[in-house]
């Protein structure tokens, strides 16, 4: 596949691409590739119609779990082929585009007419079809799907796959593919437990082919029971969803260290200095990054919200504990510091509860500076590739944010106006469900409109994914 690196995208274009990618649950890289392919189809008239071997585009309006995914279903010649009619329906109702290849034997069990009616597409059967092969159709069929599903996978098809045969369209497609393959075997239990089939299964598993089923139960043949029943269509759909899930995980393998929430700086054993941070924004970002596949380690100050899903959380109280926990979590690919860390702490917190003394002067608390976690990481020997800090200000938000960039060694400062003047929340952004942020980096400022903290989190996670990977299509 040709490789193009996109740089210096106009921010409006970048934003549109980011939104499209998020809506389809894809990385920006994938989205850019698919968008260019769509554009090329429209421009050249090479839309996937008769004679064209591209995998059918999924219904655009769908927002199902498989929205935007293209599945090539290879139907083998077994009794269970009839279940594929239901499988096609289930996949399509989840938003997938389904294109089918039928083996010659499959044609004995289901008709291309029925399959074509359900896929709303033409059905491919013949390796030597002039119509299909004018454009080396089997290669394109194999490459242009997101996933190939073989169901029912007959003993014969499994043997061909394991041995690299390519003497019909189905096997040629399977040999030519560079995509994931999911196999749903269906056969008589004796065929399934035959040493030859066992060897072939092991070979395929070693090649990275995924299996769903078979299950145990009655066979179509009277009096036969055992292991060999094809998985039910919904089980196959679930396996498809799982296998395709990582396509929406552009941060897979990236370790991200984060902070969220306030810190509590003790005055005495029962009193502390704190701030209004609820942890809602930081926790939402941690969850959004985890959904994109990142290995997120969150150091959280004391908050009353649950730990974000899929994130490993270290709970701390004070700024010093937070700094120590963060340093222990380095190295990381990115560090995102959302916590509202107290700038100062009491120089010497009392060991016992401070008592009010009748007639005595009010105590004076001496404050000393707390460690600056963002600056510590921004200038650290183990500095992550990407360092993002949040700046909560109540005035001159952008000016302060720009100054912080340099001083703290950050790549991006997410500035938010936490004053009550924003009209967000009764006491301002802290603790509220909405936020309005400005993304300040060396290349300028992006003003994001007011939106829910979850939406800010989604967009920021997409931005992190974009920053951590060069967009190569
Ligand atoms: C009625 C009938 C049912 C069959 N069911 C299966 C089956 O469930 N699994 C299987 O592996 N083969 C089954 N076969 C045998 C296959 O159809 C045969 O091996 C064929 O060559 C498979 O071709 P294909 O792998 O290209 O689809 C069946 C054959 C017949 C006649």
Say if residue 47's pLDDT is above 50.
Answer: no
Whether residue 75 sits in one domain with residue 222: yes
Range 120-142 average pLDDT: 75
For residue 191, which atom of ligand 1 is closest to its CA? Answer: 11
* 279 and 169 part of one domain: no
- Same domain (yes/no): 281, 238: no
Considering the domain architecture, whether residues 219 and 259 belong to the same structural domain is answered as no
Q: Quick one: 77 and 181 in the same domain?
A: yes
CB-count exposure of residue 313 (10 Å: 0-12, 13-18, 19+): middle
Expressed in angstroms and rounded, the spacing between residue 70 Cα and the centre of ligand 1 is 27
Note the pLDDT tens digit of each residue in 248-279.
Answer: 688 988 999 999 999 999 999 999 999 989 99
| Domain-embedded: residue 177 | yes
Residues 202 and 290 in one domain: no
Number of domains comprising the chain: 2
Last residue of a domain, one of 248, 267, 282: 248
Cβ of 78 below 6 Å from ligand 1: yes
Do 134 and 233 reside in the same domain of the chain?
A: yes
393 is in which domain, residue-wise? Answer: 255-344+369-468
Atom of ligand 1 nearest to the CA of 77: 27
Longest dimension (CA), the chain: 103
Same domain, 265 and 127: no
Instruction: Establish if 115 belongs to a structural domain.
Output: yes
Please name the residue that has the structure tokens 């404050």. Answer: 367
- DSSP H helices, 46-188, are 83-93, 112-119, 130-133, 137-143, 155-163, 169-176
Ligand 1 centroid vs 76 CA: distance in angstroms?
7
Query: Is any atom of ligand 1 closer than 6 Å to the C-beta of 256?
Result: no
> Is residue 20 one of the residues assigned to a domain?
no
- Whether pLDDT at 470 is above 90: no
Active site residue 275: yes
Q: Do 378 and 334 sit in the same domain of this protein? A: yes
Q: DSSP label at 95?
A: T
Same domain, 393 and 456: yes
157 Cβ below 6 A of ligand 1: yes
**Active-site entry in 275, 370, 416, 435:** 275
CATH classification at residue 395: 3.40.50.10300
Q: Which of 193, 226, 248 is the last residue of a domain?
A: 248
Let me know: does 134 contact 140? Beta carbons within 8 Å.
no
Residue whose Cα lies nearest atom 30 of ligand 1: it is 78
Question: Is 19 a residue whose pLDDT tops 60?
Answer: yes
Residue 201: pLDDT over 90 = yes
The pLDDT of residue 208 is above 50: yes
CATH number at residue 173: 3.40.50.1950
* 183 and 212 both lie in a single domain: yes
- Any idea what the Cα angle at residue 445 is, between residues 442 and 449, rounded to 5°? 150
Domain stop point among 229, 248, 267? 248
Residue 222 pLDDT level (bands cut at 50, 70, 90): low
Instruction: Show the tokens assigned to 196.
Output: 């030859």
Is residue 1 domain-resident? no
Same domain, 216 and 279: no
| Residue 77 near ligand 1, beta carbon < 6 Å | yes
How confident is the prediction for the chain on average, in pLDDT? 86
Query: Which two three-digit tokens encode residue 120?
Result: 């709303």
- Asked if the model's pLDDT at residue 136 lies above 60, the reply is no
Pick left, alpha or beta for residue 104 (phi over 0 → left; psi -120 to 50 → alpha; otherwise beta).
alpha
Residue 114 has a pLDDT of 96
Whether residue 410 is contained in a domain is answered as yes
Q: Is residue 354 a part of any domain in this protein?
A: no
Any residues with CB less than 8 A from the CB of 41 and at least 6 apart, and which?
Answer: 47, 48, 54
**Distance in angstroms (rounded) separating the CA atoms of residues 127 and 115:** 18
Whole-number Å distance, alpha carbon 79 to ligand 1 midpoint, is 7
């Amino acid at each position: 596949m040709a490789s193009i690196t996109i740089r210096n995208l106009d921010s409006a274009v970048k934003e549109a691409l980011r939104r499209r990618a998020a809506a389809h649950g894809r990385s920006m890289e994938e989205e850019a590739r698919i968008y260019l392919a769509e554009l090329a189809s429209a421009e050249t008239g090479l839309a996937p119609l008769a004679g064209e071997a591209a995998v059918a585009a999924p219904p655009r309006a769908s927002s199902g779990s498989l929205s935007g995914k293209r599945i090539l279903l290879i139907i083998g010649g077994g009794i269970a082929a009839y279940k594929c009619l239901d499988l096609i329906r289930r996949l399509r109702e989840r938003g997938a585009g389904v294109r089918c290849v039928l083996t010659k034997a499959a044609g004995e069990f289901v008709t291309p007419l029925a399959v074509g009616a359900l896929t709303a597409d033409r059905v491919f059967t013949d390796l030597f079809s002039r119509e299909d092969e004018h454009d080396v159709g089997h290669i394109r069929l194999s490459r242009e799907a997101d996933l190939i599903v073989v169901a029912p996978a007959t003993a014969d098809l499994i043997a061909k796959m394991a041995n690299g045969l390519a003497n019909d369209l189905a096997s040629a497609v399977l040999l030519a593919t560079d995509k994931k393959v999911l196999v749903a075997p269906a056969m008589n239990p004796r065929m399934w437990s035959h040493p030859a089939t066992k060897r072939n299964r092991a070979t395929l598993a070693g090649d990275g082919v995924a299996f769903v089923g078979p299950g145990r139960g009655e066979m179509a043949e009277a009096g036969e029971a055992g292991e060999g029943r094809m998985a039910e269509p919904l089980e196959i759909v679930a396996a498809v969803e799982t296998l395709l899930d990582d396509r929406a995980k552009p941060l897979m393998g990236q370790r991200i260290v984060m902070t969220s929430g306030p810190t509590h700086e003790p005055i005495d054993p029962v009193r502390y200095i704190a701030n209004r941070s609820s942890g809602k924004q930081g926790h939402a970002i941690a969850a959004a990054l985890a959904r994109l596949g990142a290995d997120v380690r969150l150091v959280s100050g004391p908050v009353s919200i649950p730990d974000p899903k899929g994130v490993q959380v270290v709970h701390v109280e004070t700024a010093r504990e937070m700094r120590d926990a963060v340093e222990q979590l380095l190295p990381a690919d990115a560090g995102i510091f959302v916590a509202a860390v107290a700038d100062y702490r009491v120089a010497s917190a009392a060991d016992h509860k401070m008592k009010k003394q009748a007639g005595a002067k009010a105590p004076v608390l001496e404050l000393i500076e707390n460690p600056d976690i963002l600056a510590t990481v921004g200038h650290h020997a183990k500095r992550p590739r990407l360092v993002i800090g949040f700046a909560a200000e109540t005035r001159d938000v952008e000016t302060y944010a720009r100054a912080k960039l340099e001083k703290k060694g950050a790549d991006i400062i997410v500035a938010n106006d936490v004053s009550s003047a924003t009209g967000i929340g009764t006491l301002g952004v802290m603790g509220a469900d909405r936020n309005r942020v400005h993304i300040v980096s060396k290349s300028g400022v992006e003003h994001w409109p007011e939106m829910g903290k979850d939406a800010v989190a989604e967009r920021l996670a997409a931005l992190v994914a974009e920053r951590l990977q060069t967009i190569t299509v």
